[in-house]
Amino acid sequence: MIRVAFPLIGGRGWTGGYNYLLNLIRASQSHAPGRIVAVLFVGPEAADGVRKDLGAVAGVEVIADPAFGEAPGAGRLAAALAFGLDPAAARAFRAHRIDVVFEAAQFYGWRLPQPAIAWIPDFQHRRLPHLFSAFARFKRAVGFNAQIWSGRRIMLSSEDARSDCELFHPGSRGRTAVVRFAIPRDHPVDAAEARAAADRHGLPEDYLYLPNQFWIHKNHAAVVDALAILRAGGRSLVVAASGNQADPRDPDHFRKLMARAEAAGVGDLFRPLGLIPYADVPLLMRASAAMINPSMFEGWSTTVEEAKSTGTPMILSDLRVHREQAGETALYFDPARPESLASVLGSFEPRTAAERVALADAAAIGSQQRTAAFGERFADLMELAAR
């Protein structure tokens, strides 16, 4: 079996990256058994939490090592760029007999003895540069270029992201692979359990659910404005919004968003839930009338996959990647025009209880198929890299 190193993606602060990594490991172990040993490298401060989150997933080793703490020193990255190797990481990989390194949000050097697969989630800094500081754009560009120039195979989550990768980095052509991630759901989410979770959060019968981190590009403001348009026309809808409320690019963003909701007279309709337990997400999905993702940009949306896995109707910003991901199963709106979202919401009719049961049953089957393809495709890529 191939021993694959998985450092944490972006630290615990990036909820989406952390959940992606856990789902990737679960999928590879469940659907490609006997092919990969997942060796997860984390800082000592995160080890207990990671072990708890992974539970009893077979074939996983969690290694606590200071070299993989929350903030690797700038000197180590500089060494990897200048001299071709992050020595602390290289020692750890050698000590634990690693065959392939899954490299994300970090560069371990062009002289790394093991082959590495570089996962690039998206090219948001090129598509929405105004949301990044000059330094952040520079840092991303340096990291991505280093991975591509060093000959890494590049793993992407969508054809849309592959198109961007090969457009902005022509040197990557011929070395890209698309591995679409999926959310595992072994059985339909129970309707009564889902409703109980919604009751715990004080939500009405036909609320809409928006489970995105409160980052500027996630475009919560369009939802606030759409709710105001609907209320002015005599219709009130509740939107429950869960997720991390801290945007490192704009620490004041959440406060300004809530002030906007109050000023628009929809503070009672736009309800932030905070960072809820991950186990509550599929329950609130299942209990909701629909999931909204108003984002201005995605690499491959986790919230769309959550909705697909629970059979939840979707109302999505009209992005190429959303079309790739959800096809004709979703309703779409222009993310730059709140009135477009208001029009979709105004005409949306919630499904009946019987329809929701049928959707949830079909979704569980589809989730199993997509997750199996995710795990198998990833194992194929690791084995190709190890040759």
Asked if the model's pLDDT at residue 296 lies above 80, the reply is: yes
For tokens 């999905």, name the residue.
Answer: 285
Tell me the pLDDT of the chain averaged across its residues: 92
Higher pLDDT, 245 or 80: 245
How far apart (Å, rounded) are the C-alpha atoms in residues 346 and 237? 9
| Res. 94 pLDDT band, cuts 50 70 90 | very high
**What pLDDT does 16 receive?**
72
pLDDT at residue 381, rounded to an integer: 96
Q: What pLDDT score does 72 carry?
A: 58
Is the pLDDT score of 116 beyond 70? yes
Please, are residues 384 and 39 in contact by the beta-carbon 8 Å criterion?
A: no
Would you say residue 55 has pLDDT above 80? no
Domain residue spans of the chain: 2-183+369-379, 191-367
Q: What is the pLDDT of residue 188?
A: 92
pLDDT digit string (tens) for 228-243?
999 999 999 999 999 9
Highest mean pLDDT among 16-25, 76-85, 86-95: 86-95
According to the model, what pLDDT value does residue 77 have? 75
Q: Which of 26-30, 53-57, 359-363 comes out lowest in average pLDDT?
A: 53-57
Nearest CA to 297 out of 132, 144, 63 is that of 132
Predicted local distance difference test score (pLDDT) of residue 326: 97
- Of the pLDDT bands very low, low, confident and very high (cuts 50, 70, 90), residue 73 is low
Looking at the DSSP bridge assignments, the partners of residue 219 are none
| More reliable by pLDDT, 268 or 59 | 268
Tell me the pTM. Answer: 0.90
pLDDT band at 20 (very low <50, low <70, confident <90, very high): confident
Quick check: do 2-183+369-379 and 191-367 share a fold?
A: yes
Residue whose token pair is 């960072």: 275
For residue 33, name the pLDDT band (cuts at 50, 70, 90): confident
Q: Mean of the pLDDT values across residues 44-59?
A: 82
Give 335-378 as a 3 state SS string: CCCHHHHHHHHHHCCCCCHHHHHHHHHHHHHHHHHHHHHHHHHH
Dist. CA 24–CA 302, nearest whole Å: 12
Share of the chain above pLDDT 90, in %: 77
**pLDDT band at 10; cut points 50, 70, 90:** low
CATH number at 2-183+369-379: 3.40.50.2000
If you average pLDDT over residues 42-57, what whole number do you get?
83
Q: Which range, of 36-50, 90-104, 151-165, 221-235, averages the lowest pLDDT? A: 36-50
Q: Return the pLDDT at 32.
A: 87
CATH number of 191-367: 3.40.50.2000
Instruction: Kindly tell me if the per-residue pLDDT of 11 is higher than 70.
Output: no
Condensed to tens digits (0 to 9), the pLDDT of residues 303-346 reads: 999 999 999 999 999 999 999 999 999 999 999 999 999 999 99
How far apart CA 42 and CA 329 sit, in angstroms, is 38
Closest Cα partner for 27 from 157, 120, 154? 157
Residues 281, 211: Cα–Cα separation, whole Å = 8
